[in-house]
Structure 1
Amino acid sequence: MIDFINRLLPRPKKVEKLIGPSITIKKNFVLQTEDFDAAEIFNSYLYDCLGFKLNVLAKAKNANIIFSFDKNKGKEEYSIETGPVIAVKAGGYRGLLYAGYTIIQLICLSKNSIPAINIEDKPSIRNRGFYQDVTRGKMHKKEFFKKMIDQCSFARINQMQFYVAHTYTFEGMQQVWFDKSPLTSNDIIELDAYAYKRGIELVPSIATFGHLYEVLRTQKYKDLCERENPDKMEYSFIDRMLMHTLNIFDNRSFELVKTMIDEYLPLFRSNIFNIGADETFDLCAHKNKNCKDKLGAYKDFVLKLVNHIKSKGKTVMMWDDIILKTDYIKDLPDDIIYLDWDYSAYPDPSLREKIAQKPLLGFCCGTNSWNRIIGDFETMFENINNMLNFAIKYKAKYFYLTNWGDFGDIPMVRLLQICFTYAGVVAWEGKGYDVISDYIKNFGMLFYNDMDVVRCIMPIAKYHIITYKELIYSLDSKYLVDHSMDKTIVEKSREVAEINYCKLNAIEEILYNKLPFYKDKDIILDLLNIIQGVRCFNKFDLQTYLYNGSFDELCEWYYDFCKAYRRDNEEGELSRNTEVIRKLMLRFRESKKTKS
């Protein structure tokens, strides 16, 4: 078989070499199509690839490329036959899109000399999604949202969710969102239409139960919190993760959530609504601590949400982490889409088996990029592969990659493409890569036109020993521990002491050498910033509270970080991260001895 076929993303299920000449796409070619939107998107990629667009007609005497529908194929299924003419047959609009993306890859990989072949392909999992947190740190600029949608579509992702808790302009909730760079209704409508045209269903997802920290700290809604006087507590990234669940015995709580749902739901084409309902840590723990059946109360409140959304003609989606550990799983309806999540490298098979009794099932893996400057890619790839195995085993209808914004969401957003592309590709194929370096190579050549830069990413991540989460915990008086007795911190301190930065320096040298020849210089500049951030973070000694370096270099790193942040994102909650850096310089002391 032709060498470059195995470098396609995804790898097609069937490829047959034909006898005949290769074809070179030329600017006088004519594209005949049964769908002009699919042709328009193909032409946009063709322009990026070759510098010209093709004339598009519904009927042409001498068409060179033909897009047509075949009612015998599934909606996303397609075939491509190349020869003197490129003939595409697809079962639906998405099939035409995906065939077009495959042709673009063939042009790039064959250097625009596509051999005579027949490709047949279809997805292994019907719904392949990417879930992006836009509520706990970053709020992307609209153009970056669209760029992400384009990249997800190319990766065969057909569902996306943007998680919102306090970053949408809910009417009457100005106290909640006024300083958060929130999405507006017009933004949602525009992004929903943009995604739809690219074969992506934008699914609404809001916090309706737990994770309402920002809402329940306001004067207007503080009385609805399960905790007493939540507005009196000092602001904390840690508390935001762990606290502020609704008092579900206060009727006003349901009325608030109902109002939010009723405003948000109609903005989307999707027939699905994700109510979240995960990690209700404060459930009946304070005002209602005498409740004898806390999980029963959870179930009852969820059912109220479910019934309300069903009354709108929509299907409910929710996380399964609370019900998974109880017997109430059998009491909740089977027509809910349950999202089962585990972000560890090796998820527990027994829990996956338990939720598998539900017919509408989704398995969710994670980027493992939260809490860090750069993600833990090794864990991510293992996690995706293993959760995918469960999805195939239990014939799941949904497979999602999630990216959360814990502790201010500091990772660089442009590195997400390598994550969601892998998840989308392997969900389509139905199996993960046995050798991850093969994927890294294929991704690098296709999207970066270079293997060296993308090969630098995982080694940089290995040097990231002291994480942002650990630094934040070191600042919060409620969570301070004696780090001299903390085995994890002791071990990390030993790892930092043993680091040989020569390899990291060599990676930095490679990246600087690539800069003059690289089209997307921001990727390299982001990686260089990450390297500097890793060096700075590793100089925090969590046992002695010494900083083994200069705060000037820490400030220089953060200054560059903020410039990169503002390139792709609105201001969002950047000020919260700035406050963390200020507090670190007050909490730690510069050491006279500086480690290189």
Structure 2
Amino acid sequence: MYLIPAPAKLEEREGSFLLSCETYLTVDPACSWKVNRQADLFNEEVKKILGYGAMLTRGCAQAGDIVIRQDDSAAPQSYVLDIAEDSITLTGEEAGLWYGMQTLRQILEQNGAILPCLHIEDAPDLPNRGYYFDCTRGRIPTMDWLKKLVDRMAYYKLNQLQLYIEHTYLFRGMTELWRDDTPLTAAEIMELDRYCLERGVELVPSLSSFGHLYKLLSTREYAHLCELEDSEKQPFSVRGRMAHHTINPADPESLVLIKKMIGEFMELFSSRQFNFCADETFDLGRGKSRALVEEKGKDHVYIGYIRELARFLIENGRRPMFWGDIIWGFPEMIKEMPEETICLNWGYLWNQREDETRWMYEAGAVQYCCPGCCSWNELVPLNWNAYNNIMRMCNYARKYNAIGVLNTDWGDYLHVCHPDFTAVGMIYGAAFSWNGNIPEYEEINRQISRLEYHDPTERLLEIVAKIPENTAFEWHSVCGYWEMKRGLEEFKEDYTKMIREELNLFDDVDEKNARLQNIEKELYGQIVRLESDRKGRVLPYAVAVKGIRLLNEAGKVAVAEDFGCTFTTMPDRWALAKELETWLYYYKEIYRSVSRESELRRIEDLVCWYGDFLRGKAKQ
């Protein structure tokens, strides 16, 4: 039997408990009404698992009951679960009771109505265990998918969700910002906030406020606040949207605008925290703020601006958070920030070093460690990289007394990756931030295959693990070549260098494509083995695998034409164009099943461009 996260202490005992249709689920009168509601939610899941639920009541327990008792003297988020032959008793602090219910759910899913007797004592290593999802760079999920995400987070005992927003919220009166998008509305955010609250998840607002303001600073109304001139005249670029568009801190209007946006946004959330981001301010001091930076220094200009935002949030009863990548260059200046401020210390390499975490610890920062699911720039996430990155960052969090882990899922380069794929990385983060006893990569993948995908063979993620190593034409190169050939000059040299450095990936491209065809068949073959409620999780993988193979073939044409590569076999260009366009149809169907239109049109434009390129008629 698998439990994710693994409990701190588990003792197996003799005997079993029968959960029949006559069993009562009794909530002790000392429990809060939040616990009562969560017991109801738990019982709804019991009905899905067994076909019937327990008899939910509130009052004094009797023999044979499942009993939930709240103990406010217990350690925060802790619980004790006892399964005996004549009763099940769950005791703990309010939040801990919810986590105990998730453990009991997992036991039920694997054992049915006859539960093994056992004793569990459990509590998390880290109090804040979050997930960060990019809702800006190409993909805005449907409300239905967001609620399923919250359900999944709750199942694995995560307690914080942040959605990254630049321009994808419908700010009042700022119509240029969202007029060509499908933004989240105030009503939707408040609805999601309520949904999160019932399920033990804090929905923390996250809004870009300094760097990464592509859409805001490309509007005619606010382009004058951009650090660089003529930002509204720049053509769209998947790299340019991230490389530029820093707001000018030397203009007092910048703070006025950002405070107004924060003020509108923060009122939609019950959370008393706010992440104002302030990361990757690449252009700071390169344009309109150059004189100010030369006078005061870039570090002081940066700190002065974000300190004003932090103070504004504190004045409004919120605890500020910001990304730590800029302050790494001058960590001692964390002391210039209000002491409540949380530094979100990120790092995404598989072999991520601990230096930045140590620097911020030594400087006295209150910090989260923030790893990543390694899904950006990929059709299928790099799960091995994610495993190693998340494991390291969770361990650094323990070593340097961080107060939390915020596991990130970014959408760089059009968020092409299906969002369900990053459930794997999300679960790594949930497991490793709760319990420092971390299973081996293959073992945790077997456990996730069983618990998350209901795969009795426990092989699904073993198959998925073979996908990324067979990529020849990396997604960032697919995008870069598209932009180069369309005449976008700014990053042409960088894209050319990047593709040239990755030409070795094409050395065995035909063998890779043969393996991808076999992997696609394996995935389709696995569907019959999964339980009925999980069968639909496989098709997106199969479609992604076919996309990688077809783009590998298109890449052969591209690097042969522009980089002088030769191959034993070359595709029929017209036939390949038709295959790609057929693939696009199914990709869009899957995309729309979980996401709004958002920027799907850009992926569509890219694939259609490759179709024209293969036919020799691509537009420049």
TM-score by length of 1: 0.94
C-alpha distance in 2, partners of 1:485/1:399? 32
Residue 490 in structure 1 maps to residue 503 in structure 2: yes
| Residues 473 and 552, structure 2, Cα contact 8 Å, conserved in 1 | yes
C-alpha distance in 2, partners of 1:161/1:483? 35
| Residues 489 and 543, structure 1, Cα contact 8 Å, conserved in 2 | no
C-alpha distance in 2, partners of 1:590/1:189? 50
Of residues 564, 567, 571 in structure 1, which corresponds to 2:597? 571
C-alpha distance in 2, partners of 1:511/1:30? 42
Offset at 1:483? 4.4
Who is 1:513 aligned against? 525
Q: Flag structure 2 segments of 5+ consecutive residues without an equivalent.
A: 563-569
* Equivalent residues in 2 for 1:140-159, closer than 5 Å: 140-159=141-160
Q: Flag structure 1 segments of 5+ consecutive residues without an equivalent.
A: 592-596
Residue 31 in structure 1 maps to residue 33 in structure 2: no
3-state SS, counterpart of residue 153 of structure 2: helix
Who is 1:183 aligned against? 184
Offset at 1:449? 2.0
Letter aligned with residue 539 of structure 2: L
Residue identity (%): 29
* Equivalent residues in 2 for 1:100-249, closer than 5 Å: 100-249=101-250
Offset at 1:233? 1.2
Who is 2:480 aligned against? 473
Query: Runs (4+) of structure 1 moved beyond 6 Å?
Result: none
Who is 1:453 aligned against? 460
* Equivalent residues in 2 for 1:78-477, closer than 5 Å: 78-83=79-84, 84-92=86-94, 94-290=95-291, 291-292=293-294, 293-326=297-330, 327-357=332-362, 358-433=364-439, 435-450=440-455, 451-476=458-483, 477=488
Who is 1:522 aligned against? 536
| Residues 132 and 402, structure 1, Cα contact 8 Å, conserved in 2 | yes
| Residues 520 and 545, structure 2, Cα contact 8 Å, conserved in 1 | yes
CA RMSD of superposed structures (Å): 2.0
Residues 230-281 of structure 1: CA deviation (Å, up to 9, x unaligned): 1111111111010111111111111110110110111111111101000011
| Residues 226 and 244, structure 1, Cα contact 8 Å, conserved in 2 | yes
C-alpha distance in 2, partners of 1:222/1:514? 51
C-alpha distance in 2, partners of 1:485/1:247? 31
C-alpha distance in 1, partners of 2:227/2:498? 34
C-alpha distance in 1, partners of 2:497/2:200? 53
| Stretch deviating more after TM superposition (95-104 or 195-204) | 95-104
Change (3 A) 1:484 1:219: closer
| Residues 362 and 400, structure 1, Cα contact 8 Å, conserved in 2 | yes
3-state SS, counterpart of residue 281 of structure 1: coil
C-alpha distance in 2, partners of 1:29/1:159? 33
Change (3 A) 1:394 1:248: same
Offset at 1:295? 2.4
C-alpha distance in 1, partners of 2:25/2:596? 39
Offset at 1:457? 1.2
| Stretch deviating more after TM superposition (48-57 or 161-170) | 48-57
Change (3 A) 1:486 1:184: closer
C-alpha distance in 1, partners of 2:505/2:415? 22
Letter aligned with residue 473 of structure 2: I
Who is 2:13 aligned against? 18
3-state SS, counterpart of residue 543 of structure 1: helix
Offset at 1:510? 2.4
Letter aligned with residue 496 of structure 1: V
| Residues 513 and 552, structure 2, Cα contact 8 Å, conserved in 1 | no
3-state SS, counterpart of residue 114 of structure 2: coil
| Residues 371 and 406, structure 1, Cα contact 8 Å, conserved in 2 | yes
Aligned residue pair count: 582
| Residues 483 and 543, structure 1, Cα contact 8 Å, conserved in 2 | no
3-state SS, counterpart of residue 125 of structure 1: coil
| Stretch deviating more after TM superposition (500-509 or 410-419) | 500-509
Who is 2:566 aligned against? none
Change (3 A) 1:217 1:530: same
| Stretch deviating more after TM superposition (28-37 or 310-319) | 28-37
Letter aligned with residue 92 of structure 2: A
Offset at 1:159? 0.4
Offset at 1:331? 2.9
| Residues 26 and 61, structure 2, Cα contact 8 Å, conserved in 1 | no
Offset at 1:415? 1.3
Letter aligned with residue 67 of structure 1: I
C-alpha distance in 2, partners of 1:484/1:224? 33
| Stretch deviating more after TM superposition (233-242 or 538-547) | 538-547
3-state SS, counterpart of residue 56 of structure 2: strand
C-alpha distance in 2, partners of 1:583/1:288? 39
3-state SS, counterpart of residue 474 of structure 1: helix
C-alpha distance in 1, partners of 2:156/2:307? 35
Residues 461-518 of structure 1: CA deviation (Å, up to 9, x unaligned): 2212322211111133322248489652222222425x34443333222222233454
Who is 1:44 aligned against? 44
Change (3 A) 1:354 1:560: same
C-alpha distance in 2, partners of 1:195/1:545? 52
Offset at 1:8? 1.0
| Residues 363 and 398, structure 1, Cα contact 8 Å, conserved in 2 | yes
Who is 1:531 aligned against? 545
Residues 510-563 of structure 1: CA deviation (Å, up to 9, x unaligned): 222233454233211111101111101212135334784511111111111000
C-alpha distance in 1, partners of 2:499/2:312? 47
C-alpha distance in 1, partners of 2:352/2:528? 43
Offset at 1:297? 1.0
C-alpha distance in 2, partners of 1:277/1:28? 56
Letter aligned with residue 228 of structure 1: E
Who is 1:594 aligned against? none
| Residues 320 and 339, structure 1, Cα contact 8 Å, conserved in 2 | yes
Residue 544 in structure 1 maps to residue 539 in structure 2: no
C-alpha distance in 1, partners of 2:61/2:394? 46
Change (3 A) 1:422 1:484: closer
Offset at 1:359? 4.2
Change (3 A) 1:53 1:257: same
